[in-house]
Each structure stands twice: as structure tokens, then as C-alpha cells.
Amino acid sequence: MTHRPTVPHSRLRSSGGTPIVLVIGGGTSGSALTVLLRRAGIGVDLVEASPDWKASLGAGITLQGNALRVLREVGVLEGVEKDGYAAEGVTVLAPDGTVLHAHDELRTGGDDLPAHIGMQRPRLQQLLIDEVLASGADVRLGTRATAFEQDAEGVDVTFSDGTTRRYDLVAGADGLGSATRRMIGITDTPEPTGMGIWRAPAPRPAGVTRTEMIYGGRCFIAGYCPTGEDTVYTYLVEPARDRASLNPDTYADEIRALSEGYGGAWTELRAAFTDPKAVNYACFDRHLVEGPWHRGRVVLVGDAAHACPPTLAQGAAMSLEDVQVLAELLTGRTEWDDRLLTEYHARRLPRVRMVVDASVQLGRWLLDGVRDADVPGLVHRTLSALKELP
């Protein structure tokens, strides 16, 4: 049995007693929210549809400073710094590997944090899992929420195993294809942007100490980011393909063929693409719920409410900022009501819209072959705004 400590009066739910939250989804945002709420003495049940919580697609992740700022609050920054690779800038190369220019990045998390840390995504997931388990939250894997029945004081949730439990709040952190979003009647859905991305891990070539990117050649972007002392994750961005037409058994052949013609470190990286199961393909989507992110006491966080192409590497950061703001409001108010959730949406929407629109615009310029686009200006303006606290 999980011990749920008594919370101070300032954090009591509107109906009195110890509040309890259901978090749906055990990914980055759901796990981070669970930890922050438990630290404040709020009871949390976390349900994850996958029976294997550790399963995580994706070779790596770039965590910008504003994401690191939240991860520090969650308590995993030390592990991220230990297992990841901190870098201060980006180098742009010609297709043959010649350096065109290098620039430092803005420290969106503040001067005391790196500009970004690259790391293997499964390792980040494990750090968050460890923190959730240490928090004392109740975790159920292979479990889905199948129905909500709400009144003014709470939500009765029915689960896929047939059980029902009452909660003061439900947070849907179940990703881009969120079932929670559909269940509460929000009809906004992700829209493809026309680009697709191949990702794969590889050994880190000697001399690769920061993110390096090539624009042009066979792909829109061919890049790689160090994720540790011995690893990088690589990515190649191209026009989107119909995923149904792709054979996963040929993924290694596909990414190897796309990387042909790129010089520099790509010669060494290409030789590492041998296991099709280590290669991931995904399409870029634009997603933003413009209207309220809640219905009654069920609220969306992270990709369930918004998502964008990784052209600014801000997807995880925006989700983590959602968590930080929502946790701040829930732990600082005596009443959990419509005004609280409306304030959460009002604080997040303008910032998220800015990032989504900028990320999509960067991709659109590539798709349209615009050569005189003000890419540096757009990136600088957006990242400068993100240095401010959400």
C-alpha cells in the first residue's frame, strides 16, 4: 500500500481532505507531473497503457535549457548531466563535410545551465521512472482509462481492468494520439506538415563534440547530436512518406541510402546503420488545441494539447513547461476549479503557439526552397523569448 502523507491546508481540494490526481500516460510529461505533485504531498495514481513502461521509441533527444530548468525541479538533472552530453552550440556543414560556420546557442534555461544536453531517450525515461517510483505514486502498467463521469467535486474514472476510482483531477498526458482528448470531446487533431524524419543511434565519431547539421543534399537536413561520451543520435529529414508503404525490415537500408553523398563524420556513421530495429521513422505534425485544454476536471498536458516539428528542438521543453505551470497552480491554490485550469491555459497558449508556429515555419521554408529566409532571426527571437520563465 502506498503511503499518502497529509497535505497542508493550503493544498486541500475544494471539498476538503487529501487531494488525489490521476495522471494518464507515463512518458516525459506524465512522469514529471507525477513527481512534482507527489513532492507537494498530493496523492497521484499514474496509469500507462504500455505494459512495458521502459519501452521508448527514438534514438535520442535534445533537451534545451528551458527543458533542463524543469528537469532540475523534477530532480533528475544530475542524472541527465551524468548520462547525457552538454553542448554549447551548433556547427553547420556543407554536404561534403566542410565547416561553413559555427555558432553558440542561447541559454534558454539561464546562464547556470547548458544551452542543451543531448541524451539517449530511453535513458531519460529510466531516470524519470526511478523518480516516479521513489515518489510513492501508485503506478499501473498496461492500464487505460475508458470512461469519465464528472460532477462539481470530482471525476469517477473507469479503467480497462473494470475498476473505478474517484479523483479530484485527471491529467491527460497520453501523447499526440491522446485518447483522453477524444474522450472529453476536444476535436482538434494533429496535421501533417509534409516532412518525415529518420533517426538512429550510432557510436560517436572522434571530434564530434556538438550538434552538426547539413542543409541540402539528398535530404532537407542531415544532422547528429552527441548523446553521451560514446554515442550520438543521427537524423535525416526528407519529404514525408506513406508509412504504410515502408517495410520496417528495410529501415537500416533506407537510412544508409539516404546518408549516401554526405561526407565528414557521415562516412563513419553510415557504417553503423545495420540493425533495422534501431531505426525509427516518423512524420512531422503540427498540433495545437487553441480552445480550452480542459473539460470540467480533466485537463491536457504536453503532446496531448500541442506538438510541433523538432526544427527548434522544443517539443519536450514545451511539455515540461506545461507540467511546471500546472503543478505550480495545483500546489498553490486552495480550490481546484475552472478558473485555475483556465489560467493554466492562458499562461501556456501564447508561448506554445509561438514555438509551434516558428517550428512549422522553419520546415515550410525548407519545403518551399526559400533561400533568403531569415532563419537566424526567427530562431533568435523565439529562443530569446523562452529565456523568460513560463
**What are the sequence ranges of the domains in the chain?**
9-85+119-190+286-386, 193-284
CA distance 178 to 189: 9
What whole-number distance in Å separates Cα of residue 30 and Cα of residue 13?
21
pLDDT in tens, 47-83: 999 998 875 556 799 999 999 999 999 999 999 999 9
Return d(Cα 278, Cα 302) in angstroms, integer.
Answer: 26
Contacts 24+ apart (CB under 8 A), 244-250: 246/281, 248/276, 248/277, 249/276, 250/276
**Residue 59 confidence (pLDDT):** 77
Contact 375, 296 (CB under 8 A): no
pLDDT tens profile 366-381: 999 999 999 999 999 9
Of the candidates 315, 329, 261, 325, the one whose C-alpha atom is nearest the C-alpha of residue 284 is: 315
What are the cell numbers at 213? 547539421
CB hemisphere CA count around 368 (13 angstroms): 11
Residue of 59, 96, 101, 85 lying closest to 266 (CA atoms): 96
In the DSSP assignment, the letter for residue 191 is E
Q: Is 205 exposed, middle or buried (0-12, 13-18, 19+ CB in 10 A)?
A: middle
Q: What cell numbers appear for 130 in the block?
A: 526511478
Could you give the CA distance from residue 316 to residue 76 in angstroms, rounded to a whole number? Answer: 15
Taking each helix axis from N to C terminus, what angle separates 315-332 and 28-39, rounded to the nearest 10 degrees? 20
Q: How far is it, in rounded angstroms, from Cα 144 to Cα 174?
A: 10
CATH superfamily of 9-85+119-190+286-386: FAD/NAD(P)-binding domain (3.50.50.60)
> Within 10 Å of residue 32's Cβ, how many Cβ atoms?
31
| pLDDT tens, position by position, 212-259 | 999 999 999 999 999 999 999 999 999 999 989 999 999 999 999 999
Residues 75, 86 contacting (CB under 8 angstroms)? no
Grid cell 503532446 — which residue?
303
* pLDDT of the chain, 390 residues: tens digit per residue: 333 333 333 334 544 578 999 999 999 999 999 999 999 999 999 999 999 887 555 679 999 999 999 999 999 999 999 999 998 789 999 999 999 999 999 999 999 999 999 999 999 999 999 999 999 999 999 999 999 999 999 999 999 999 999 999 999 999 999 999 999 999 999 999 999 999 999 999 999 999 999 999 999 999 999 999 999 999 999 999 998 999 999 999 999 999 999 999 999 999 999 999 999 999 999 999 999 999 999 999 999 999 999 999 999 999 999 999 999 999 999 899 999 999 999 999 999 999 999 999 999 999 999 999 999 999 999 999 999 999
Q: Which three cell numbers stand for residue 204?
A: 560517436
Instruction: Output the CATH code of domain 193-284.
Output: 3.30.9.30
